[in-house]
């Protein structure tokens, strides 16, 4: 599936940039589903997003500056507000600015420390709710914001694949002597995706012994994984000692081949019990193990089940493919693929 060729995907919210990247007062570029956008903080300190191309001579607005809460083009000084309306042209009186002087504007809001953007004015679903964010017994640790050469579907399927861990993560927590994952306990489908429940026995290396407060060589994770269509998830891990480690990851589609990884975690412990730097270090090792393999996969992942082979642990990914195919059909779209001759 080529995400840039499926218009329905523009009707979802995606986290695109940490708010901290915008606080220096300069506009920043981003590409979302192939659309080039510019982000900045307006006069009220709220994130704004519009097309990154001046309607005059197409110069990148992200190369300009922010003046009085508006982004000013570096070419001739035209300024745009958060609705994409040109509000100042130095070469004209303000009253004489034609209404046609405007660019596309996009819905944009702050949530969880990130600017989220929806390219359509009518989102299909809200931004995912994560109750633990407002729970005083949890702390938030921002982990990763980086670009991977992997498509969104490959990434989100991997996040629900219980069979890859003992091989891909053999250097962190995988146990190749125990390659068969336990059966999935439950998959409950919802409007926004599904919830998957299962458990997994994993190795417990030295760094994790510190992070978890568990000294045994192995431990058991009781997992609740939630899929938020199309390319976001939470993984809520319950450990035997009562620790909860919840990971949120979004695979924001930059283009057909590339995704922006946004990840933070929430834990019901304290810095004194486990240092954030150590938690990030272990999760870094795990994600890099995933990256090394996933960047070798074909980005044009098919929704059809006929092109690839499957096994029992692929059930979550198969449901995803069925749901995404149904989404396209419900909105009059067909799956867009590469021409076989170009693969």
Domains of the chain from N-terminus onward: 3-118 (2.102.10.10), 131-328 (3.90.380.10)
For residues 83 and 49, what is the distance between their CA atoms, to the nearest angstrom?
8
| Strands (E) located in 161-217 | 186-190, 193-203
Range in 31-45, 49-63, 143-157, 173-187 the model is least confident about: 173-187
pLDDT confidence band for 94 (50 / 70 / 90): confident
**Does residue 340 have a pLDDT over 70?**
no
Range in 139-143, 163-167, 218-222, 330-334 the model is least confident about: 163-167
- Cα distances (angstroms) measured from residue 171 to each of 97, 166, 168, 262: 62, 9, 8, 23
For residues 196 and 182, what is the distance between their CA atoms, to the nearest angstrom?
13
Query: What's the token pair of residue 218?
Result: 């192995």
pTM of the entire structure? Answer: 0.95
Compute the C-alpha angle 154/248/318, nearest 5°.
35
| Secondary structure string (H, E, C) spanning 54-96 | CCCCCCCHHHCEEECCEEECCCCCCEECCCCEEEECCCCCHHH
- What's the mean pLDDT in 182-195? 95
> Residue 111: what pLDDT?
98
> Residue 339: what pLDDT?
79
- What's the mean pLDDT in 107-135? 97
> Residue 178: what pLDDT?
83
> Residue 84: what pLDDT?
98
**Does residue 343 have a pLDDT over 70?**
no
pLDDT confidence band for 173 (50 / 70 / 90): confident
**Does residue 341 have a pLDDT over 70?**
no
Beta bridge partners of 65: 72
Going by C-alpha positions, the residue among 255, 287, 299 that lies closest to residue 30 is: 255
Q: How many CA atoms lie within 13 A of 304 on its CB side?
A: 7
For residues 308 and 304, what is the distance between their CA atoms, to the nearest angstrom?
8
pLDDT confidence band for 253 (50 / 70 / 90): very high
Give the residue ranges of DSSP H helices in the chain. Answer: 152-158, 165-168, 206-212, 276-294, 315-330
Going by C-alpha positions, the residue among 286, 287, 265, 285 that lies closest to residue 276 is: 265
Query: What's the token pair of residue 101?
Result: 């002087």
> Residue 177: what pLDDT?
86
pLDDT confidence band for 18 (50 / 70 / 90): very high
- What's the mean pLDDT in 289-297? 97
């Amino acid at each position: 599936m080529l995400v840039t060729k499926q218009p329905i995907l523009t009707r979802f919210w995606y986290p695109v940039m940490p708010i901290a990247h915008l606080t220096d007062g300069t506009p920043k570029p981003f590409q979302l589903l192939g659309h080039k956008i510019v982000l900045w903080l307006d006069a009220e300190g709220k994130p704004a997003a519009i097309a990154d191309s001046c309607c005059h001579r197409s110069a990148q607005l992200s190369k300009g500056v922010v003046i009085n809460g508006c982004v000013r083009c570096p070419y001739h000084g035209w300024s745009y507000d958060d609705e994409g309306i040109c509000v100042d042209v130095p070469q004209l009186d303000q009253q004489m600015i034609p209404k046609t002087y405007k660019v596309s504007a996009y819905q944009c809001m702050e949530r969880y420390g990130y600017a989220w953007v929806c390219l359509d004015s009518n989102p299909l679903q809200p931004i995912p709710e994560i109750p633990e964010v407002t729970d005083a017994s949890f702390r938030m640790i921002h982990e990763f914001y980086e670009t991977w050469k992997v498509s969104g579907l490959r990434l989100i399927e991997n996040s629900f694949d219980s069979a890859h861990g003992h091989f891909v993560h053999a250097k962190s927590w995988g146990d190749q002597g125990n390659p068969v994952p336990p059966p999935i306990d439950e998959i409950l489908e919802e409007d926004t995706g599904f919830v998957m429940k299962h458990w997994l026995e994993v190795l417990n290396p030295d760094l994790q012994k510190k992070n978890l407060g568990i000294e045994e060589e192995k431990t058991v994770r009781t997992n609740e994984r939630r899929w938020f269509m199309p390319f976001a998830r939470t993984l809520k891990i319950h450990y035997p000692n009562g620790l909860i480690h919840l990971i949120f990851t979004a695979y924001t589609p930059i283009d057909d081949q590339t995704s922006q990884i946004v990840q933070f975690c929430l834990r019901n412990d304290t810095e004194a019990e486990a240092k954030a730097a150590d938690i990030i270090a272990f999760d870094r090792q795990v994600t890099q193990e995933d990256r090394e393999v996933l960047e070798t996969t074909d980005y044009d992942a098919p929704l059809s089940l006929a092109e690839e082979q499957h096994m029992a642990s692929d059930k979550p990914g198969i449901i995803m493919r069925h749901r995404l195919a149904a989404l396209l059909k419900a909105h009059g779209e067909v799956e867009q693929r590469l021409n076989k001759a170009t693969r």
